[in-house]
Amino acid sequence: MTELFAAAGHLAIPRISYLSIMPVLILLGGGVGLLGISALWPRQLPPSAGTAVGVLVAAAALVASLVQWVDVSNHGPHVAIAGAVVQDGFSVLISMLVSISVLLALFVSDTWLKRERVGGPELQVLMLVSASGAVIMGEANDLIVVFLGLEIMSIALYVLAAFNARRQESGEAGLKYFVLGSFSSAVFVYGIALVYGATGTSNLPQIADYLARNVLLHQGLLLAGVALLLVGFAFKVAAVPFHLWTPDVYQGAPTPVTGFMAAIAKAGGFAALLRVFVSSFGLLRSDWQPAVWLVAVLTLVLGSVVALVQRDVKRMLAYSSINHAGFVLLGLQAATARGVEAAAYYLFTYSFMVVGSFAVITLVAGPGDAAHDLENYRGLSRRSPWLALSLTVLLLSQAGVPFTTGFLAKLEVVSAAVGAGSDALAVIAMVSAAIAAFFYLRVVFTMYSGAPATAGAHVDGGGGMPAELPRPSGALLLAADVSVAQAPTAVSVLGEQGTGQPIPSGAVVAISLCVAVTVLFGVWPAPLTSFAHLARLIIQ
Amino acid sequence: MIHAAFLMFLLPLAGFVVLALSGRRLGDPLAGWVGTATVTGSFVVACITAAGLLGMPGPARHFDQTLFTWIPVGGLNVKAALLVDPLSMTMALFVTGVSALIHLYSIGYMKGDRDYPKFFLYMNLFVASMLLLVLGDNLLFTFVGWEGVGVCSYWLVAFWFGRPSAASAGKKAFLYNRLADVGFLVAIFLVFERTGTLQYQGIFAHVSSIDPASRTAICLLLFAAAAGKSAQLPLFPWLADAMEGPTPVSALIHAATMVTAGVYLMCRINPILGLSHPAQLVVASVGVATAFVAATIGCAQQDIKKVLAYSTVSQLGYMFLAVGTGAYEAAIFLMVAHAFFKAELFLGAGSVIHGLDDEQDLKRMGNLRRWMPLTFATFIFGWLAIAGIPPLAGFWAKGDVLDNAYVRFPALWFVGLVTAALTAYYMSRLSALAFWGDDRWRDVLKARPGQHGQGAEPHDAPRVMAVPLVVLAVLSFVGGVLLLPWHPGWAPLSWLGPVFGARLYDAHLSGTSLWVLGLVDTVVALGGLGVALPLWSAQAHRPELEPAVLQRSYFLDDIYDAVIGRPGQALARFSAVVVDNRIIDGAVNGVGRLARLSGTGLRRVQTGFVRQYALGIVIGAVGLLAFMVARAWS
C-alpha cells in the first residue's frame, strides 16, 4: 500500500533532452508566439510581418536540426525522453527537410496572401504547427508519438486546405480531407491497439525486441494491426487505393498550401512509415513486403495513367504526387538500409521540386487562384520566360531527366529495389516514369508553344501576375546570354516589364532556391548523396 | 605553390564567366584584353606549378589535387581531381603559352568583328576545357574536357555562322567528333567494368589483371576517339573544312592544341598501350598512312589555310607513328615543336590574309616578301622548321620520330621518310606561291576595294599581332636546339621519364647510325625544298602537278557521301516515314490510347462524393487485412 502510494506520489518524470525536440519546440512555440503577437497587435498584422516571423522561426528550426546533426555525427544515434523520441540521421534529415519546406512555403504563401488580400497570420501559424507535427513523426519512437505527430500535422492541414474562405472548393477540400482523414486516423489507432495487444508495447524498439525474442504461434492479431497501420500511413502519403481524396484536396486547397502539403505530409507520413515498418516490423518483412509491393504497383501505375487525362494542372500534379509516392514505396519495399537512404533522398529532393512547382502555379493562377487549366500555360514562355524556364526545370526533374536531382532520386530508389531483388517492381516503376514524362512534357510543350490563350487574358491584364514577374537570377541569365547571341541583359529583361507593380519577391526567392538546388545538386550530386547516406535508422 | 594548380583552369573559366555576364558592356577591345589576361595568368600559374614539380625529386614528380567528390554512385566514385605530373604539365605549359600568344594576336585580328566579345568568351572556355582535358586525373574528367573542347571547336568553326559554308563546316566537325567519341564512351565503360575505377593511377595499377583482348580493345576504342579529335584516317576530312573559322581559331584549336588531344590521350594511357602490340601496330600504321596521304593532298591545295590544315593532319600522323612505336617522348617533343611552328605558320598566314582583304587563294598572292617583310621573315622560321631543315625545331623532333620508327618498324620508317620529302615540297610550294613570283594579288585588291581602299598595297600586321609572330618564330628556331642533350647534366626530355620510362632507341642505335639518319633526313628535306622553290616561284599555274584527285582529297567527301551520306539519308527517310509514323507512332499512340482509355475509365471512380471515397478506403483496408490475415493462417 505504501509502495503504491509512493509510486503515485513520485510520478516518474523522464529526463528531458531538450535538444532532441528542439526543432519541434521552436516550430510550435514560434507558431503559438506568432498567434499571440497578432492577438495583441492593435491593428491587423500585415502579411509581411507574419511571413518574416515565420521565416525566422523556420530558419531557427533548421539551425536546431543542424545542431542535432552535429550531435548525431559526434555522439551517434540515441533515444531520448524515456524512449519516446529518437535522434538519428534519418530523423535529422526529415526535420531539416520539413524546416526547409516550411521556409520555402512561407515565401510562396506571402505572395499569395498579398494577392488574395487574405489577412491574418493564421496561415503561417498553421503551417508552422503542421510542420512541427511532421518533425515529430520523423523522430517518433513510439506508435503513440507517431499518432500524436500525425494528428498535429493533419489537423493543421485540414484547416489549411479550407483556408481560402472565398472559394467554395477550398472549403469543400478541407471538409473532405477532414472527414476522410479522421476516418483513416481511426483505422490507424485501431492498428496501434492491435499491435499493442499482440506485443504488449507500443514502443518501436521494444516491438522489434519482442518479435526477435518470441515466436508467435498465431500472428493474426499482429498482422491485422500491421495492415491497419499500413492503411493509415498509405492514406497520409496518398498511396492507391487510399488516394481518392488527393486530387480533390490538392485542387481545392490554396495553391501554396498544396505545395506545402505535398512536401510535408509525404515527408512526415513516409518518415514514420519507414521507421515503423523497417525498424519494428523488420522481421515480418516477408509478410508485409508483398502487400507493399501491390500498393506500390497500383500507386505507380494509377498515378501516371490517370494524370494523362487531366486538363487541370493542379489536379495533374496531384496524380503526379501519387506517382512519386509509388517511387518512395520502392524504397520501403526494399526494406534495406539502402532503400531507406534512397527514400530519404527522394523525399528530400521531391520537396524542393514540388514546392517550387506549386510556387510557379501560384503565380500563373492569377488573382482568385483560379487559372489552372492547361490552356493558361500556353505561351507562358513569351509572357514570362523565367517562370516558364523554372517550371520546365522543376517538371523535368520530376520526370527524372539527368542532371537534375530527380534523376538521381529515381536512380537511387530503383537501384535499391533491384538490390533487394524486386526487379519486376523496378521495371514497372521505370515504365510508369516513362508514362509520367509524357504529361510533364506536355506542360512544358504547352508553355513553349502557341500564342497566349485568350482565356488567360486576365493574367496579362491589370493586376496580372506574370507580367511584372520574374527577376532572373544571374545563373539562369548566364545560360540565356550564352546561348542566344542577341540575348538581352538582365537590365533589359526587367525593363520590358517596368509596369511599376510590386514584384512578388517572396515567390521569386522560393522558386530560385528550388531551381538552384534542383540543378546544382543534379549536376554535382556528391554533397546531397553523401548527406543522404547519413540518413540511417537507429535500428535497421 | 604546386597547390595553386587548380587556378590554371579556374582562371580561363572565370574569364569565361566574366565575359558571359558582361562581355557586351566591356566591348572591343577591353573584352579581348580580359580574355588574354586570364589566359596569361593561367600560363604564369602553369610556370609556377611546373617549377614546383621540378623542385621534387625525379620519380616523385606526381601530385594529385582532389577538389571535391563529384559523383559517388554505387561503386562508381569519381573525384573532381587534377593530376599534375611531367606529362600534364608539359601539355599545360604549351597550351597556356600558345593560347596566351594567340589571344593577344586575336585582339588585333578580330578587331571590328560584330561578335568580338563572344569570340573571346568561346576562346576562354576552350582554354579552360583543354586544361581540364590534360589535367584531369580520371577518364571521366578528361572526357568532360574532351567534349568541352569539341563544343567550343564547333562554336568557333561556325563563328561566322551567317556564311553557309562556315555553318556546315561547324556541323561537320562536330559530327565527325561525336562519331569518334562513341569509342571514348565505350572505352570508359569497358575500363570501369574491368578495373572498377576510372582514375588513371588506379587503372594502371590494375593493368596486369586486364586480359590482353580487353587491353587491345580499350586502346583501339580510345584510338578511335583520338582519330576523330586528331583528324586521322579515315576521319580527317573535317579538319580541312574547319578552316572556315577565324584564323586564330585555326592556329590555336586546329593546329596547336585541340587536335593534339588525341596524341595526349594515347600517351596518357601508355601503360596499357605498351602492353598491346596489335594496338601499337594499328596506331603506328594509321599514323604513318595519314601522314603520307595528307601530305600528298597538301601538295595540290590552293587555299593557303587548307595546305596548312593538311600539313597539320600529316604532322599529327607523325605523332601517332611515334606513339605506336612506343616513343612517347618523341611524340610529345614533336607536339610541342609543332605547336610552335604551326601556330607561327597559321598566324603568318592570317597576317597575309588580313593584309590581302581576306584573300586565301595562293594563286592570287605572290611576291609578298617585298610588301610584308616582317610576316615573311617570321614565316621563314615556321616554314624551314616544318620542312625539317637543321637546326630548327622540326628537324630534331621529326628526326626523333623517324629514328624510333627505323628501329621498330623499318617499312613505316620508309613511308615516313617519303612523307618528309613531301612535307618539304608542299611547304616550299606554299612559300614560293605566297612570297615569290609576280604580284598576282594586284587584281584582287583592285577588284575588291576593302578597308584599305582602291589600289592599296598589302601591309604588315599591327604591333599587337606582330609580337606573337616574333615570339613564335624564336620558339620555332630554338625550341629544338634547347632540348638537345648538349651536356650530360642537361637532359630536358628525361623530364618525361617518370611517365614513360626509358627512351626506346637509346639501346639500339649507335651514335654513327644516328648521325647517318640525321643526314638522310636533311638531304631529303633539302631535296623537297630544292625542287619546289624554283619550280613554283617561276610559274604559279602547273595543272599537271595538281591532279584533281589530290585537289579533291582523293574524293573522300564524295565517297563518304555516296557510301554513308546517301544511304543514311535513305535510311532516315525510311525510318521517318515507315518506321516512325507507322510502327513506333502506332505503338506509342496505341499505348497512349490504352493509357488514356484506362485513365478515363479510372477517372470515373473520382466522383467527388466523400461517402464513396470512404468506401474506397474501406475496400482497400479490407483487402489488405484479408491479405495479411490470410498469411497468418497459411
Among B465, B574, B496, B195, residue whose Cα is nearest residue B322: B496
Would you state the pLDDT for residue B510? 72
Q: Above pLDDT 90, what percent of chain A?
A: 57
Contacts of B603 in chain A (CB under 8 A): 306, 309
Q: How confident is the model at residue A258 (pLDDT cuts 50, 70, 90)?
A: very high
Q: Is the pLDDT of residue A139 over 90?
A: yes
**pLDDT for res A471:** 41
**Owner of C-alpha cell 491485422:** A224
Contact A231 B624 (CB under 8 A): yes
Q: What is the pLDDT of residues B351-374, one digit of tens each?
A: 888 888 778 888 888 788 888 888
Distance, in angstroms, between A128 CA and closest chain B CA? Answer: 28
pLDDT tops 50 at residue B461: yes
d(CA A432, CA B226): 40
Domain span including residue A205: 22-450+507-534
Residue B540 or residue B613, greater confidence: B613
Is residue A411 domain-resident? Answer: yes
Q: Mean pLDDT, to the nearest integer, of A454-466?
A: 39
Instruction: Give me the mean pLDDT over the A512-539 stretch.
Output: 87
Residues 11 to 30 of B: which have CB under 8 A from any A CB? Answer: 17, 20-21, 24-25
CA distance A87 to A71: 9
**Interface check B614 vs A, CB under 8 A:** yes
Strand segments (E) across A129-261 = none
B21–A227 C-beta distance less than 8 A: no
Judging contacts by C-beta atoms under 8 Å, the chain A residues touching residue B69 are 526, 530
What residues have CB less than 8 Å from A270, skipping those under 6 apart?
Answer: A233, A237, A325, A328, A332, A343, A347
Would the CA dihedral through B16, B161, B316, B523 be positive or negative? Answer: negative
Q: Give the model's pLDDT for residue B607.
A: 74
Q: Do B628 and A291 touch (CB under 8 A)?
A: yes
C-alpha cell at B560: 563518304
- Of the ranges A8-22, A343-357, B335-349, B578-592, which is most confident? A343-357
Interface list for B 56-85 with A (CB within 8 A):
68-74
Q: What residues contact B430, with CB distance under 8 A and at least 6 apart?
A: B304, B307, B308, B362, B383
Closest Cα in chain A to B621: A231
Angle value at C-alpha B611, between B610 and B614, nearest 5 degrees: 85
A470, pLDDT greater than 60? no
Q: Which residues from B are below 8 Å from A478, CB to CB?
A: 17, 20-21
Chain A residues whose beta carbon lies within 8 Å of the beta carbon of residue B617: 180, 183-184, 187, 231, 235, 241-242, 244
Among residues 463-522 of chain A, which lie with CB inside 8 Å of chain B?
474, 477-478, 481-482, 485, 489
CA distance B154 to chain A (A): 13
**B114, B589, B610, best to mutate vs chain A, most A CBs in 10 Å:** B610
Mean pLDDT of the residues in chain A: 85
Contacts of B167 in chain A (CB under 8 A): none
C-alpha span between A387 and A336 (Å, rounded): 39
Report how far residue B126's alpha carbon sits from residue A21's, in angstroms, rounded to the nearest whole number.
Answer: 53
Q: Does A437 contact chain B (CB < 8 Å)?
A: no
Which pLDDT belongs to residue A4? 55
User: Of A409, A401, A398, which Cα lies nearest the Cα of A354?
Assistant: A398
pLDDT digits (tens, 9 = 90+) for A303-357: 888 888 888 999 999 999 999 999 999 999 999 999 999 999 999 999 999 999 9
In a domain, A189, yes or no: yes
Dihedral Cα B595, B600, B601, B602, nearest 10 deg: 80
Number of independent structural domains in chain A: 1
A463 within a domain of the structure (yes/no): no
A492 inside domain: no
Chain A interface disruption, residue of B585, B600, B602, B617, most A CBs within 10 A: B617
Residue A502 distance to chain B (closest CA, Å): 26
- Give the contacts of B507 (CB within 8 A, at least 6 positions apart): none
Query: Binning pLDDT at 50, 70 and 90, where does residue A129 land?
Result: very high
Task: For residues A57 and B402, give the distance between their C-alpha atoms in angstroms, rounded to a whole number.
Answer: 75
For B12, the 3-state DSSP assignment is: helix
Does residue A435 sit within a domain? yes
By the CB < 8 Å criterion, does A17 face chain B? no
Q: How many CB pairs under 8 A join A and B?
A: 124
Selection from B421, B457, B418, B461 nearest residue B441 by Cα: B457
> Would you say residue A293 has pLDDT above 80?
yes
Is B599 close to A227, i.e. CB distance below 8 A?
no
Q: Is residue A410 part of a domain?
A: yes
CA distance B358 to chain A (A): 24
Q: Could you say which DSSP state residue B59 is in?
A: G
Q: Which residues from chain B sit within 8 angstroms of residue A434, using beta carbons?
A: none
* Nearest C-alpha in B relative to A181: B614
Q: Sort out which chain B residues have CB atoms less than 8 A from A287's CB and list them.
A: 628, 631-632
Chain A residues close to B72, C-beta within 8 Å: 525-526, 529-530
Q: Is A161 on the interface with B (CB under 8 A)?
A: no
Which residue is closest to B600 within chain A, CA to CA? Answer: A309
Read off the pLDDT of residues B516-574 as tens digits, 9 standing for 90 and up. Answer: 888 888 888 888 888 888 888 877 787 777 788 787 878 888 888 888 888 888 888 88
Does residue A179 sit at the B interface (CB-CB below 8 Å)?
Answer: yes
Bigger pLDDT: A465 or B155? B155
Provide the ipTM: 0.80
A71 contact partners, CB below 8 Å, separation of at least 6: A19, A87
Asked if residue A479 is part of any domain, the answer here is no
**Is residue B24 within 8 Å of B146, Cβ to Cβ?**
no
Q: Does A454 touch chain B (CB under 8 A)?
A: no
Q: Is the peptide bond before B391 cis (omega within 30 degrees of 0)?
A: yes
Question: CA separation (Å) from A496 to A505, B25, B267, B555?
Answer: 18, 19, 54, 54
Which residues in chain B are contacts of A249 at CB distance < 8 A? none
**Position A468: which residue type?**
E
DSSP characters over A393-451: HHHHHHHT-TTSHHHHHHHHHHHHHHHTT-HHHHHHHHHHHHHHHHHHHHHHHHHTSSP
CB contacts of B620 in chain A (<8 Å) are 231, 234, 241-242
Chain B residues near residue A295 by CB distance under 8 angstroms:
624
In tens, the pLDDT along A483-498 reads 333 333 333 233 334 3
Residue A420: φ, ψ to 5°: -90, 5
Query: Between A224, A309, A411, which is nearest B625 by CB?
Result: A224
Which residues in chain B have Cβ-Cβ distances shorter than 8 Å to A309?
A: 596, 599-600, 603
Interchain CB contact of B596 with A (< 8 Å): yes
Residue A455 reports pLDDT greater than 50: no
Contacts of A219 in chain B (CB under 8 A): 631-632
Q: Is the pLDDT of residue B333 over 70?
A: yes
* Average pLDDT of the residues in A83-109: 93
User: Phi-psi region for residue B194, left (φ > 0), alpha (ψ -120 to 50) or beta?
Assistant: alpha
Q: Which residue has the higher pLDDT, A477 or A93?
A: A93
* Average confidence (pLDDT) over B193-211: 86
Task: Give the whole-angstrom CA distance, residue B399 versus residue B405.
Answer: 10
Q: Which of A116-120, A233-237, B240-244 has the highest mean pLDDT?
A: A233-237
- The reply to whether A232 falls in a domain is yes
Q: Tell me the pTM.
A: 0.70
From chain A, pick out residues whose CB is under 8 angstroms from the CB of B74: 415
Label residue B447 by pLDDT band (50, 70, 90).
Answer: low
Whether residue B491 is predicted with pLDDT greater than 70 in this model: the reply is no
**Chain A: nearest CA to B162, how far in angstroms?**
13
Q: Which one of B71, B596, B620 has the shortest CB-CB distance to A241?
A: B620
Q: Is A197 on the interface with B (CB under 8 A)?
A: no
What is the pLDDT averaged over residues B259-283? 90
